[in-house]
Structure 1
Amino acid sequence: MYVPDRPRFRPTWLASGRSTTPSWLTDERWLPAGNRELYARASGGLYAALGRLDPPSGPALLPAYVPRAVVRAFRSREYEIAYYPVTADLTLPAAAVAERIEALEPAAVVFVDYFGFRDEALPALAERARAVGATVVEDCARGAFSRDPDGEPLGSTGDLAIYSLHKTLPVPNGGLVVARDIDLPAPDGSVPERRDVLTSGVDGALSRLGIPPAALVGCSGPERAAATVGGGPDRSDERFRIRRPGRATIRGLHRCDPARIQSRRLDAYRDLRRLVGRVDGVDLLTPTAHEGACPFGLAISGPGREWRDALYRKLRRAGVPIKVFQWPPLSPAAASDGAQRLRNCACVVPTHRAFPPAARRRLTRALERVPGD
């Protein structure tokens, strides 16, 4: 058995012939109102949008648990970087974040809607940020088609909303930016996608044969070095190329039905949460899903890093999808206790498809048998 860990583009879709973007990209039922632009990658779109803002008069204030590409986009636009803490349960410590906003008076503040959920403290914190003149960037990378608890499309709180469509939809590329008050630059050229299409074809063949890639190439667990402070090369001086996705991505976007995807992800998430919630010793990090949510996955954590890595290896070898987001800090200032625990102990079970009975059994068996620290 092998369930891929992300939605899969099907090479046969290339024959559809559609070359324009789908209508849901301009539908305010699914995306916030504002100026929209589709880029190859969300990081390139963020870099493009930041170039339309005034030169920074203060730092960019980011959560301590944040993807490196976000940090690099700001650094490449000459922002100094500061951080606010994140708790180990993926929530915002509102008082501490507000204190950082008041003390630093940042030019921009980034809030991450972790795995498709908006924190309840975000609206009030966004207003505090605007009160000191900051641009509010809402990172909805894994939140396409999700709604916040107020019923608004995820991303409606920010002045800029950033979506990584290729992380939640069956497309090779796709970074969407929605801006309230600025005109976004058009992409320059498109990215090649032939290799992505070939990879997707191979992944589909393995899925049909029930052969997990880990059975062919092995699985040693998440890369440990990446979770250390400054782990891996720092490419903060790189210049992002502002390009559009290729035709394979456009064909894939046309295959996406927002209502169907949202409903299926919500059902899969609720089912997973009930299933995993019955296992002792596992902490559920992402909340109970409200109506309208479109969760990327169920975030969980356990006793420690050895537990998380052992679970990762077991599930990968069993062909059950699991993701680890270590997002290593580029500065000691980003190594807060809560963020470090998330890097070391958390993992996410994706919800892009319902788990077949065999996958459910393997998931619960792995959770019950992985020893604690």
Structure 2
Amino acid sequence: MANYFELDFLEVHSSKSGDAITIRYEVGGETFIHVVDGGYVATGEKIVEHINNHYGPLSYIDHVVATHNDGDHACGLRVVLESFPVGTLWLLRPWLYAEELLPRFATYNSVDRLRSRLRSIYSNLAALEEIAEERGINIQEPFQGSQIGAFTVLAPTRTRFLDLVVASDKTPEAAEPAERGVLEEIATAAEGYIKKAINLIRAAWGAEVFSTDETSAENEMSVVQYANICDKKILLTGDTGRGGLAEAADYAPTAGLFLPGITYFQVPHHGSRRNVSTELLDRWLGQRLDTPVPKGSEKFTAIISAASEDEDHPRKAVVRACMHRGARVVSTDDGKGQKIFYANIPLRKGWVVATPLDYPTDQEA
């Protein structure tokens, strides 16, 4: 049989968006099942049902990847690890580097205390580690250059990951000073006010406005993966931000990926304006087109994992930006079930072609 793949983006039913991706593919006569993130705990149960229904009951999962600690990505993977035999769990564990990081945290002088604190902060990943150890599942670190089946990790590097752990507002040095805590409360309140005050403005084709704010350090820790299967270039980004996308683009040629040009592009962080920029999208997807591409003639597919109840995602500016580069944009928030992308395999019975989003004529100011 020729190589094939099934790439499934499952719905995450919640007031907030999440990621849950399953992939089955065959390369060189060898079949793999690869799970990337699991949404919330309830999502994990749906992943189990989905795999049993479509990949075969009691399937062996070769790779499970937790892109980062956020609960809308990591929590559901607990159910997956407990429900199937798993070859390798891939996750980044800050506490493994407590001894190396200790000099960078002025308020800590004990490796054990710092290690314990980091496990507490990144508790979703720590829970996955505990399950894997109990079940005898191999654990590996998905730093840049790691090979996860057909997928290559493009970001983060080990050095940048540790810098992000130190920079995070959640880690001890950033969180403990009282004055900073007060400032953070004020900033959070201000952010909520600004969020409510966002207005939509009409905009001409090609106009792009992104947030000047950056995404969180935790999101920037996300594992970015790339694979070329059946001559289809697949990029899975988690919640990575501009730093992660730039780092991944720098490394792409080493992985045999010469930009621009992606077939299936997971839009980072559910379509947030804080995670992309015009320059980065130009680099990954190509320059903006002078005129819209007719429906049915799109150059690539951009997939957004967004919950229908989530009023904040996806942002219209991001949907527009993908279309400016010739994308067919598909979102999981349309209430019509999970999205499947495939090659060299029949479409599942009863499934229909996903309806792409329409071009927004307005965007966030």
What is the TM-score of this pair, normalised by structure 2?
Answer: 0.28
Bigger fraction of residues in strand? 2
Compare relative contact order (CA 8 Å, sep 6+) and give the higher one, 1 or 2. Answer: 1
What is the TM-score of this pair, normalised by structure 1?
Answer: 0.28
